[in-house]
Structure 1
Amino acid sequence: MATILIVEDEIPINELIKRNLQSVGHTCISVFDGRVAIHELAQHEVDLVLLDIMLPEIDGYEVFQQIRGIPTIFLTARSNLSDKVRGLTLGADDYLVKPFEMLELLARVDAVLRRTKKESKSFELDGVKIDFESRQVFLNEYPVECTPKEFDLLEVLVNNRNIALSRDRLLELAWGYDYVGDTRTVDVHIQKLRKKLDMESRIKTVYKLGYRLEV
């Protein structure tokens, strides 16, 4: 997983982001102003920066200009198109406007890390090994045949591990927004994954919601 610097001066938001990123396996460093952010980046190697724009001491734009080369997602309450264009023109990898859903943030973090090749290319748990590049799955070193959608669903669960996802959300992430089926499709695929990978105790049913991969 990745080491992520969170630069956000609102303590509750900073802590919420940190908890959610840590829950899926990332290592986080939290700072609350631009000057400290620059200092931390001089002391530590990080894979991604989540950077607020309106910061004490030094604003996010100036911080970004001093840390070029490190993948960065701007987090800001500024929703004006001109602000977004400025951030992306400077070279930011993404721009997310507050308030945002944590699942959207996690998805965008995952997308940036994959583009910059900092995201893990494999995952292992209880004898299950998943190779994301080759899209192969192994149980106790023996290959397990998974359909394309079973693999897509498994990848979504892994990328959002320890987070409860509704059936509708799983459909969106694994099947796509234009899928016209119903949520029973998710239940069927979950049962198949549990059986094939011996993960009955890991893929938990969340009452009246959906499922969670518990790690």
Structure 2
Amino acid sequence: MSDSQNLFSGKRKYLFGLALLSFISVIFASFSMADSNDFDISKREILLRRIGHEILLQSGDSISRVLPVKKIAENEYQIRFEKEFSFQPDSLVNITQRLLAKDPLASDHVVTILNCGDSSVAYGYAISKNKKEDNVPCIGRIQPKACYVINIKFKPTGINTVKSGYLLAGLPFLALVGFLFFKSVTPRKQKTLPDSQDTNLFTLGSVLFDAKNRKLIINENTIDLTATETRVLLIFALSPNETIERSRLQKEIWEDEGVIVGRSLDMFISKLRKKLELDSNINIVVIRGKGYKLEISS
């Protein structure tokens, strides 16, 4: 088999490899970002527990526990405590800023301290990467001992957006490569084309079919065709070695005349066979249950 007939040779193999490599690259990038995202979230939860621990120490409590950090919404976490405590707002702000500085994705955040009983806001402040936008009220007022939970909400970092962007941006490229690949491997139908630029002339084996003048020229012999024979043979000549449905032939040849007769088609097929029999390589064969085919053997 020649190189041009090998499905995965040359250009086709290159396109297949490019498509596969592109697909693997996009998937790898997406999963790498997902792994990185999970790792950053785990680090953040540890920092939040550390914040809770230092707040308790600041209040003079070195015994009670910081309960597991709870993720209450996308980019929002809740620090819970085993016992009541009091806090100084300035110490709370300093502790959170110092520890969250270790998280490069936490420069913008809002801290809200809620009363456990009614979820009313006991204190809150906002920190921004742009220091001019910081909002830290009531720093000097000590908050009484009570049951508190601390909610910390971070500004969306766009990690998920970027990850989705990688996938979405990669899909059109993969589609393009896939289209080029399948286009290159799709076998082209081989049709017998006319030797002449005149589309009314068709070379069928050793037979020259002149559709315009309704003639067959075989070995210097000229055979006249009727108008209907010409129309039938033209349909076959445009699709050699392909099955033509019987219903299509009947519709295209006789429907305009208002009458479709099955035996009329068989009669014209029979007449065409006789006129083409001078070339043994050409034959109109019956495809049982479907229709007919103009077979041209080399």
TM range (shorter): 0.3 to 0.5
TM norm structure 1: 0.44
Larger Rg: 2
